[in-house]
Amino acid sequence: MSGPAQNMPPPQTSGRGIASGEAKPRGGRHDRTAGLDIDAGGCAASYAAEAHYSVQQVAAKWGLSDDAVRELFVREPGVLVIGHGGGRGKRAYRTLRIPDSVLQRVHRRLANP
């Protein structure tokens, strides 16, 4: 094989074996963004511009406790989870912001089992 392609250097990698400019592979058990339209900044473009609700707002709207709302939404794809998990017996401090479309999706799922 000859020509210009033969003399090209290999693509640069970021240390994880991913060539620069390529999207990172998604999927797996803990990937919360699987199946979402991810933009260049790594955000789900459809969620960025819509209204987001706090746990307290959803709890008041649905007549549930804050803990029940957290349990429903903490692992839901599209929910912003801000904070960190506790370590070595420390409490995890997390703030959830729930996009309107996710709120509607969960409501539909719960209403139509």
Q: Is the pLDDT of residue 109 over 60?
A: yes
Structural domain including 73 reads: 51-113
- Residue 36 falls inside a structural domain: no
- Residue 28 falls inside a structural domain: no
Number of compact structural domains in the chain: 1
Q: What is the pLDDT of residue 6?
A: 52
- Residue 42 falls inside a structural domain: no
Q: What are the backbone dihedrals phi and psi of residue 45, each rounded to the nearest 5 degrees, phi first?
A: -60, -35
Please write the tens of the pLDDT for every residue from 14-61.
Answer: 444 444 444 444 444 444 544 445 444 445 567 788 999 999 999 999
Q: What is the pLDDT of residue 10?
A: 53
**Can you give the pTM of this predicted structure?**
0.58
- Across the range 4-23, mean pLDDT stands at 48
Please write the tens of the pLDDT for every residue from 62-94.
Answer: 999 999 999 999 999 999 999 987 888 888 888
Q: What are the backbone dihedrals phi and psi of residue 36, each rounded to the nearest 5 degrees, phi first?
A: -95, 155
Tokens of 72: 């429903």
- Residue 16 falls inside a structural domain: no
Strands 52-53 and 80-84: unpaired
